[in-house]
Structure formats: C-alpha cells, structure tokens
Amino acid sequence: MIGPLSTTYAGDLSLSSTQASILVATPILVGSLGRIVVGSLTDRYGGRVMFIAISLASIIPVLAVGVAGSAGSYPLLLVFGFFLGIAGTIFAVGIPFANNWYEASRRGFATGVFGAGMVGTALSAFFTPRFAQWFGLLATHVIVAAALAVTAGVCLLVMRDSPQFRPNTDAVAPKLAAALKLPVTWEMSFLYAVVFGGFVAFSNYLPTYIKTIYGFSAVDAGARTAAFALAAVLARPIGGALSDRIAPKYVVLVSFAGTATMAAIAITQPPPDVWSAATFILLAIFLGIGTGGVFAWVARRAPATSVGSVTGIVAAAGGLGGYFPPLVMGATYDSVDNDYTVGLLLLVATALIALVYTAVKLHAHESVQADSR
C-alpha cells in the first residue's frame, strides 16, 4: 500500500530520497520481526485461527495509512506504516499450515504455491496508483480493508487445519530458543535474507528506481513493478517443484548465480523498455526460484514440531533482508550521475557470497527430519 504510492508521497510531501526509503522500509521491518512470534503462535493455535486473526488485525492499519496519506502527514504515515507491517507476518502462518497438509515429497511445491501469494505485491503495484487516481487515496484503502474483511470471512467458513496438526503448547520463548539452536535456522535465514530480501526490496523500491532512472510516471512505474513481482511470483512454485525433484541446494545455487549476473547488468542501466524489462524480469525469476528453493529446504530439514518457529525466524530474516536495501539504495544514490551503482554492486557481492557459502558449506542431500522422527 505504501511502496506503489511512494513516488506520489515523495512528490506531494517533498521527501528526500532517504525519507522516502524510510517510509517504504518501515512496514517491512515490523512485518519481519513479527513473523518470529506469529510462527510460534501458529504452532500453538494452528493456521486457521492465525489467518483470521492477522487478516482482521490488518484492517485498522490499512485505514489509518489511508487517513495519514490523505492528510499529507509524513510522521503519521511512518507511525501507521509501522503497524501496517502486521499484515506482513502472515507468511509465517501459511508455511507451517501448508506443510501439515502435504507429505514431504510435495512440500516444496505446496509451500511454493502458498508463496505465490506474493502476487498481491504485483496486484498492488499495478492497481494501487490507478485506484488512487480513480477513487481517491482514502477510498483505495477502504477497498483493501474490505478485501481483508472478506478474506477473514472466507477463512472462517472454508479453512480447516490439517488432521496432522498437533498444537505445540510449550511456552513461546523456549520454543524460539530451541529453534535458534538448530543449525538449519541460521543457515536458511541467511539464504532467505538474500533471495526474499532481494524480492521485497525491489518490489517496494522499484517504483522509485524506475521513476528516477527512466523518468516514468507513478502509474507506469507501478505497471513495470507489477511485471517484476509477477515474474517472481510465478517462479516461486517452480523453484519449490524443482526442489521436490532435485536437491534444493542446486536450485538455490542457480538462483544466486542468476541474481548476481542480472544485478551486474542492471548497473549498466540498460535502455527502456525491452532491455531494462528483460533485465529486471530475469532478476525477479532468479529471486523467485530461490525463495521456493530455500523454503523447500526448510520443509525438508526442520523438525515437525518446530516448523512454525523455524519458519517464523527464517521468514523474519527474509523480511529483514528486504528492510535494509531500500535504505542503502536511497543513501547511496548518486544524484550527479543519476545512478544506483553502489547499491547494485552490494547486491552482486552479497549474492556471490551466498553462492560460495551454499556451494562449500551446505550439503546437497538432507534427511527429512519431520519424517524420521
């Protein structure tokens, strides 16, 4: 809701590059850290209850952001954007929910399909600027709030927890402490911070990037960002399905290699529209495949009773991975030469480090702890 309108807010409120970056990044931070707790709560209460709760809890922040935007208040946008991050915690609900419904050999595909819910980012990038033009800023947020209410109602009526679900009633803090002691938690957190962090960062900051580098309007920048997000969304279940058939390690390695390559090409500022579109869509595909591959790996390795806790921590790491790049991109932007070379070089370096770490440190074939217990 904020990312697609960031260029509008930046113009209307005369925001600096850094201020706009902070505005975009704030909900990501809350949505990331909140996943840690929400993952553990999902282990206890199940996905159905948590889907309903998060959908309903997101309604007020969405409306509040609409009010703040209509009032033209940057401080209120930051405050209400902070609480808007609650919606971002939903990822830590869906992964354990999907895991419980599928056998180990199908979890990569199942979690990939759930992860394809990232299409909401594409829809928002495309429709939010248009809705704001057609209906007004506040009405746009009312529409989304209504959609959240409908979602909660659908979950209440048709969603059921898997018969395999067993509530873990242990206290949250010890569960998180136990999950943090597992090597898989830290290893997968690092990998997911790179692939999902890259997706979140670009899907939120790309409207600003495209408008700055290529001079497109907010609506045109949103349409191109939607294409980026859609490509990543479609690639995610592909990455998960591939990981059901070959070791997830190799899927992740391809993702990192492709990400580094396309980020390096982006530094050259390929001309619009064909070459720039091809560059960023391929970048999105490599990132999407990686997100599917990493969580297929999590599903294979995490203990059955701790999937929610491990998922919450790994998902939080992914969100945090998306928190810092917009700030870095804004801080390192070269207004003289109109480029983001430093920020993109940092992405290249990070992807290469992750590539080497995955190739050297992690084993290709992991036992499925959930099944061997």
Q: Which letter, b or e, does each residue of 122-137 get, where b requires 16 or more Cβ atoms within 10 Å of its Cβ?
A: bebbbbbbebbeeeeb
Which pLDDT score is estimated for 364? 63
Q: What is the mean pLDDT of residues 303-318?
A: 81
Name the residue with higher pLDDT: 111 or 74: 74
Q: Which two tokens stand for residue 188?
A: 């997968």
With a CB cutoff of 8 Å and minimum separation 6, the contacts of 71 are: none
Q: What is the pLDDT of residues 186-215, one digit of tens each?
A: 999 999 999 988 887 787 778 888 888 888
Which pLDDT score is estimated for 373? 35
- CA-nearest of 37, 135, 30, 42 to 88 is 30
For residue 61, pLDDT over 60 is answered with yes
Confidence of residue 174 (pLDDT cuts 50, 70, 90): confident
Q: Where are the domains of the chain?
A: 3-372
Q: Which two tokens stand for residue 260?
A: 């580094």
Alpha-carbon distance of 276 to 21, in angstroms, equals 22
Confidence of residue 78 (pLDDT cuts 50, 70, 90): very high
Confidence of residue 370 (pLDDT cuts 50, 70, 90): very low
Percent of the chain topping pLDDT 70: 97
User: Picking from 122-126, 146-150, 269-273, which range would have the lowest pLDDT averaged per residue?
Assistant: 122-126
Alpha-carbon distance of 59 to 147, in angstroms, equals 9
Name the residue with higher pLDDT: 262 or 171: 262
Q: Which letter, b or e, does each residue of 315-352 get, where b requires 16 or more Cβ atoms within 10 Å of its Cβ?
A: bbbbbbbbbbbbbbbbebbeeeeebbeebbebbbebbb
Residue 319: DSSP 8-state: H
Residue 103: DSSP 8-state: -
Residue 368: DSSP 8-state: -
- Ranked by mean pLDDT, the top range of 39-48, 169-178, 217-226, 255-264 is 255-264
Torsion sign over Cα 356, 358, 362, 364? negative
Average pLDDT of the residues of the chain: 87
Confidence of residue 367 (pLDDT cuts 50, 70, 90): very low
Name the residue with higher pLDDT: 359 or 339: 359
Alpha-carbon distance of 55 to 312, in angstroms, equals 17
Confidence of residue 179 (pLDDT cuts 50, 70, 90): confident
Q: Which two tokens stand for residue 76?
A: 């209120």
Q: Which two tokens stand for residue 232?
A: 């990543």
CB 89 within 8 A of CB 53: no
Which pLDDT score is estimated for 351? 94
DSSP-based three-state secondary structure for 339: strand
Alpha-carbon distance of 143 to 125, in angstroms, equals 15
Alpha-carbon distance of 101 to 296, in angstroms, equals 14
Q: In whole angstroms, how far apart are CA 2 and each of 8, 212, 282?
A: 10, 17, 25
Residue 102: DSSP 8-state: S
Q: What is the pLDDT of residues 214-269, one digit of tens each?
A: 888 878 888 888 888 889 888 988 998 898 888 899 999 999 999 999 999 998 98
CATH of 3-372, one of 3.90.180.10, 3.30.1360.170, 1.20.1250.20, 3.30.450.20: 1.20.1250.20
Which residue pairs from 11-16 have beta carbons closer than 8 angstroms and sit at least 24 positions apart in sequence? 12/72, 13/72, 13/74, 15/74
Alpha-carbon distance of 38 to 40, in angstroms, equals 5
Residue type, 303: P
For residue 371, pLDDT over 50 is answered with no
- Ranked by mean pLDDT, the top range of 40-44, 110-114, 356-360 is 356-360
Q: Which two tokens stand for residue 95?
A: 């992964």
Q: Which two tokens stand for residue 179?
A: 């999950």
Alpha-carbon distance of 125 to 137, in angstroms, equals 14
Cis peptide before 244 (omega within 30 of 0): no
For residue 340, pLDDT over 60 is answered with yes
For residue 170, pLDDT over 60 is answered with yes
Residue 3: DSSP 8-state: G
